[in-house]
A = this chain, B = another copy of it.
Amino acid sequence: MFESAEIGHVVDKDTYDAEVPALREALLEAQYELHQQSRFPVIVLINGIEGAGKGETVKLLNEWMDPRLIEVRTFDQQTDEELARPPAWRYWRMLPAKGRMGIFFGNWYSQMLQGRVHGQIKDPRLDQAINGAERLEKMLCDEGALIFKFWFHLSKKQMKARLKGLKDDPLHSWRISPLDWQQSQTYDKFVKYGERVLRRTSRDYAPWHVIEGADSYYRSLTVGRILLDGMRQALHRSRIKAERVNVAPLPPLDDQVTLLDSLDMTLRLDKADYEEQLITEQARFSGLLRDKRMRRHALVAVFEGNDAAGKGGAIRRVAAALDPRQYSIVPIAAPTEEERAHPYMWRFWRHIPARGKFTVFDRSWYGRVLVERVEGFCSKADWLRAYSEINDFEEQIADAGVVVVKFWLAIDKETQLERFQEREEIPFKRFKITEDDWRNRDKWDDYRAAVCDMVDRTSTEISPWTLIEANDKRWARVKVLRTLNEALEEAFERSAKQARKAKKGK
């Protein structure tokens, strides 16, 4: 993998000086074109050997191009706000918007490599991290991002020669950083695991470019040309998003019987039972959220459902159990400008709760496979790949201790009609009914199919869907609360088991 970056590539000063002016101009032009189109972001990952020119290259790119359109991001120490959330959160919050370039100096690769080289993680965890990186990049590319991955390389001999040269030169010996010395010890390991990482994450949509770092003229010209070619190609492509469909749609069911049909829509609670059970489940919920085991977890509840199925009412009964400082409710509507300038999942990552906290999503990331699918707001390729992106997302946050509970509140068509009519009649409910609701109702069967697909493809062990029979609001509210309670208790129990196991293992 690194052989061709150890053969001593050199560019002489004359060639360099002759080539740079035109290259700079072309890079600037590509950059302004990128900004003017604002169709996609450019993400540049900088990795490799210390002393191979990573920092110098980043500096040079900022000089060659317009630094006002570049964001250089470093990821050293995590802040406490980052530590309280799933690991990927820090990268998501730093993603550049469409039309801009983000240079990630230090990124998911540096994190996994440092971890493996210093023995904090073993191969299986490394492979998991590799897999996570692949999925993240695949998703970013599917959303239109242009990704460049540069590995700056030095052979062991080159590295040693460089260190020796610096050390012997009193004027430059201060340029040897602690990282340099550390790496001279761990070079072999670093290259070995680097090779594994590069091999497994070099993909057609985001290949690695290994750059021999010893000669700065060669290095700079090569990086500049790769960026220029890649940007030009992407800028001239008529449409960034691939229309390839990676997942075939589910075949229609032969018997036309869906999961939704299997619900017993007559389930109900009378008033006395409701009041008793509601208060019991609310007290239980309140206790669980104040439980000290909650400090290691966070809770995310997703509310989806037919229009007028009673999401708002159910959410209010959940909230009523709690101190308002413990939760926040995020209503998901049409995305804002900033949200549209980022990948689809960005707007949800923003609201992932810190440990100990609870976030309610009133509608959610499932919008893409529900309303966006049915109304044609995104392409078929987009919503088909969304299923796996969503599963990846939920797995990532679950791995970090977030308990994810998802509700589909189902009512039948007659009940919906009654509620719509009631909303139109009662003054303070008139805000809750719009033309859109009636239009959606006409697409009842399309939504039904979308819901069944969604549940089939995204009800996972990690975060199963709970279908709520919601013709009776009382039944629905109690079932929602009970489900939340059971999910938290299970999660607490599971972590306790793991803790015991870990203790035994020692």
Contact yes or no, B29 A427, CB < 8 A: yes
Contact yes or no, B36 A331, CB < 8 A: no
Q: Which residue of B lies closest to A426 (CB)?
A: B25
Assess whether A14 is interfacial by the CB under 8 Å rule: no
The one of B68, B105, B320, B325 in contact with A325, judged by C-beta atoms closer than 8 angstroms, is: B105
- Which residues from chain B contact A26 at a C-beta distance below 8 Å? 428
Taking A338-B338, A431-B32 as contacts, is the C-beta distance between A331 and B69 under 8 angstroms? Answer: yes
- Which residues from chain B contact A316 at a C-beta distance below 8 Å? 63, 66-67
The one of B74, B324, B428, B432 in contact with A62, judged by C-beta atoms closer than 8 angstroms, is: B324
Assess whether A115 is interfacial by the CB under 8 Å rule: no
Contact yes or no, A312 B66, CB < 8 A: yes
Assess whether A12 is interfacial by the CB under 8 Å rule: no
Taking A28-B428, A336-B338, A337-B338 as contacts, is the C-beta distance between A329 and B80 under 8 angstroms? Answer: no
Contact yes or no, A68 B329, CB < 8 A: yes
Provide the bound-state CA to CA distance between A329 and B65, in Å: 13
Provide the bound-state CA to CA distance between A206 and B28, in Å: 50
Assess whether A79 is interfacial by the CB under 8 Å rule: yes
Provide the bound-state CA to CA distance between A97 and B311, in Å: 23
- Which residues from chain B contact A79 at a C-beta distance below 8 Å? 79-81
Provide the bound-state CA to CA distance between A35 and B68, in Å: 36
Which of the listed residues A55, A58, A312, A323 has the most CB atoms from chain B within 10 Å of its own CB? A323
Assess whether A5 is interfacial by the CB under 8 Å rule: no
Assess whether A394 is interfacial by the CB under 8 Å rule: no
The one of B35, B324, B336 in contact with A337, judged by C-beta atoms closer than 8 angstroms, is: B336
Which of the listed residues A29, A325, A336, A432 has the most CB atoms from chain B within 10 Å of its own CB? A325
Assess whether A315 is interfacial by the CB under 8 Å rule: yes
Contact yes or no, A25 B315, CB < 8 A: no
Assess whether A494 is interfacial by the CB under 8 Å rule: no
Assess whether A288 is interfacial by the CB under 8 Å rule: no
Provide the bound-state CA to CA distance between A324 and B28, in Å: 18
Q: Which residue of B lies closest to A330 (CB)?
A: B68
Assess whether A129 is interfacial by the CB under 8 Å rule: no
Provide the bound-state CA to CA distance between A428 and B74, in Å: 30
- The residues in A between 153 and 186 inclusive whose CB is less than 8 angstroms from any CB of B are none
Q: Which residue of B lies closest to A67 (CB)?
A: B319
The count of identical subunits is 2
- Which residues from chain B contact A55 at a C-beta distance below 8 Å? 323
Total number of A residues with any Cβ neighbor in B under 8 Å? 45
Provide the bound-state CA to CA distance between A36 and B80, in Å: 37
Chain A 343-366 interface 0/1 with B at a Cβ cutoff of 8 Å (1 = within): 000000000000000000010000
Contact yes or no, A25 B428, CB < 8 A: yes
- Which residues from chain B contact A427 at a C-beta distance below 8 Å? 29
Contact yes or no, A58 B324, CB < 8 A: yes
The one of B33, B68, B74, B315 in contact with A67, judged by C-beta atoms closer than 8 angstroms, is: B315
Assess whether A71 is interfacial by the CB under 8 Å rule: yes
Provide the bound-state CA to CA distance between A194 and B324, in Å: 25
- The residues in A between 309 and 336 inclusive whose CB is less than 8 angstroms from any CB of B are 312, 315-316, 319-320, 323-325, 328-329, 331, 336
- Which residues from chain B contact A362 at a C-beta distance below 8 Å? 68
Contact yes or no, A74 B36, CB < 8 A: no
Which of the listed residues A66, A74, A105 has the most CB atoms from chain B within 10 Å of its own CB? A66
Assess whether A72 is interfacial by the CB under 8 Å rule: yes
- The residues in A between 137 and 151 inclusive whose CB is less than 8 angstroms from any CB of B are none
Provide the bound-state CA to CA distance between A427 and B26, in Å: 10
Provide the bound-state CA to CA distance between A388 and B71, in Å: 32
Chain A 69-84 interface 0/1 with B at a Cβ cutoff of 8 Å (1 = within): 1111010000111000
Complex A-B: 26 CB contacts under 8 Å: A25-B428, A26-B428, A28-B428, A29-B427, A32-B428, A32-B431, A32-B432, A33-B431, A59-B323, A63-B320, A66-B312, A67-B324, A68-B312, A68-B315, A68-B362, A70-B329, A71-B328, A72-B324, A72-B325, A72-B328, A79-B79, A79-B80, A105-B324, A105-B325, A337-B337, A338-B338
Q: Which 8 A-B pairs have the closest CB atoms?
A: A32-B431, A72-B324, A337-B337, A29-B428, A336-B337, A68-B331, A67-B319, A68-B329
With A67-B329, A68-B329 given, can you name 15 additional A-B contacts, CB distance below 8 Å? A29-B428, A36-B431, A58-B324, A59-B320, A59-B324, A62-B319, A63-B319, A63-B320, A67-B316, A67-B324, A68-B312, A72-B325, A72-B328, A79-B81, A336-B337
